[in-house]
A and B are shown apart, each in its own frame.
Chain A
């Protein structure tokens, strides 16, 4: 009996609930646009392309030509008067001395400008 009464009483509310559903406030276009913009920002990114190789520096160009870079420790022990830059292909390149290239050691080894070399 109680259940039937409850059902009847539920029917009494149904028109109100139906009216409430029909009267549901709608979201604005602006809100929808913001939500879509958020989705675009939050979307998982595809794998990034590898960064293009940096432009070769002057030093890299020289080293490319002469084929290598001796260890810094080895260079640091060399005297200013006769710094030899090693190279991989003695057949194709004649031996250079740094003085002949016209560059200072500081040009070739950035960061060594602060180093003090004893004059030979």
Chain B
């Protein structure tokens, strides 16, 4: 069976197919969902190994729930983000927060004309550091909204709060980020006008 993410079916159709015994449906799901789950978990946990454990556990729960998946209730990705978020919260409570700040490898790019990429890498790092200063729930909401690209109702489901609460968290989080990044404007083009 070719290792193929170009399956046209929706996440939900793939999951239902897997739950009905089509094992190969897991391939496309894995390729689609794992990068998102891992990107989020590694940003929250600041540790690649921990993030891998969380994502593997979350995906295992997805495989197990597949036969009982009820259509039309939640998006598969939203469900997965929620499991990942809860597992991350559990880990942070146990181990304390932000253990290995430099565990996330920084992208290295020495090709000629890579100034833009280097600026981007520095911006990403600066944002990462600034996010790390936020209260956990504000950080979660901002990451889910502006990096993972979830809608406010989806974030509300992931975080088990109301939509208004999501908007409040993201607004407060962004204000705090601007304050934290204010000192970077000269080098990173942050226009705090």
Residues of A participating in the B interface, judged by any CB pair closer than 8 Å: 6, 8-10, 12-13, 15-28, 31-32, 34-36, 38-40, 42-46
Does B81 lie at the interface of the complex (its beta carbon under 8 Å from any beta carbon of A)?
no
CA distance A45 to B21 in the complex (A): 7
Chain A residues whose CB sits within 8 angstroms of the CB of B27 once the complex forms: 36
B-side interface mostly = helix
Q: How many whole Å from B32's CB to the nearest CB in chain A? A: 11
Supplied contacts A23-B120, A35-B30, 20 more A-B pairs, CB within 8 Å:
A9-B178, A9-B192, A12-B190, A12-B193, A15-B189, A17-B146, A18-B120, A19-B120, A19-B124, A20-B128, A23-B124, A24-B39, A24-B43, A25-B42, A27-B38, A27-B52, A32-B31, A35-B34, A38-B63, A43-B26
Q: Determine if A22 and B124 form an interchain contact, defined as CB atoms under 8 angstroms apart.
A: yes
B105 contacts across to A, CB distance below 8 A: 25
Are B107 and A23 within 8 A (Cβ)?
yes
User: SS class of chain A's interface: helix, strand, loop or mixed?
Assistant: helix
A37 to chain B, nearest CB (A): 10
Given A16-B181, A26-B35, verify A43-B127 contact (CB < 8 Å): no
